[in-house]
């Protein structure tokens, strides 16, 4: 999925997708809810750019775990302390790339980038409801184009609001 995304991005922008930890410019941080399949996919995609690093090593430079999701997971797990799988859970969170996604002490991300990026995925999650009106379960290329058009419309609305102080009308449900 990530390789396809990077390829489509290059087609649409005529520029290679870049990462700060590889190219010293570009995307520096991805905030995640710790979906292991997504993390593995991202690691594999980054390994195609720099094969000398393992995929998991790349993640130590770019992934930041949403603290809300982490705390919820800790709370849910601590309620089940008597279960024998607790040691598996502890081992899982001792994995180097996961430790790096949780705390500045282990990350290989620059301090200024770590401190200047959010510690949760709330903004992205709140945007789902709006952008999903454009469709769900779309092919990647279609989703990118629809997302692009959605963002352009949002920027136009922001421009109108900034220039004329006119807000988009909100229908009140009574």
Q: Name the 3-class secondary structure at 32.
A: strand
Confidence at 173, pLDDT banded by 50, 70, 90: very low
Helix H or strand E encompassing 31: strand 30-32
In tens, the pLDDT along 38-77 reads: 899 999 999 999 999 999 999 999 999 888 878 777 767 7
- The CA distance from 174 to 171, in Å, is 9
| Whole-number pLDDT of residue 168 | 60
124-150 mean pLDDT: 79
CA distance 93 to 35: 13
Q: What is the mean pLDDT of residues 103-115?
A: 92
pLDDT of residue 174: 39
In this prediction, residue 150 carries a pLDDT of 85
Cα separation, 36 vs 39, in Å, equals 5
* Cα radius of gyration rounded to whole Å, the chain: 19
The reply to whether the predicted model has a pTM over 0.85 is: no
Question: Is residue 65 within 8 Å of 102, Cβ to Cβ?
Answer: yes
pLDDT average, residue stretch 130-145:
81
């Amino acid at each position: 999925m990530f390789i396809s995304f990077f390829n489509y991005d290059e087609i649409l922008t005529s520029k290679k997708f870049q990462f700060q930890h590889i190219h010293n410019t570009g995307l520096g941080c991805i905030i995640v809810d710790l979906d292991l399949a997504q993390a593995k996919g991202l690691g594999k995609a980054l390994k195609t750019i720099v094969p000398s690093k393992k995929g998991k090593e790349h993640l130590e430079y770019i992934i930041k775990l949403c603290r809300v999701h982490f705390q919820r997971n800790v709370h849910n797990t601590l309620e089940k302390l008597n279960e024998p799988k607790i040691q598996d859970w502890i081992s899982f969170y001792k994995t180097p790339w996961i430790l790096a996604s949780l705390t500045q002490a282990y990350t290989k991300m620059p301090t200024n980038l770590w401190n200047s990026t959010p510690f949760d995925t709330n903004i992205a999650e709140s945007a789902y409801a709006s952008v999903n009106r454009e469709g769900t379960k779309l092919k990647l290329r279609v989703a990118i184009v629809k997302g692009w058009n959605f963002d352009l419309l949002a920027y136009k609305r922001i421009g109108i609001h900034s220039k004329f102080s006119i807000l988009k009308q909100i229908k009140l449900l009574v």
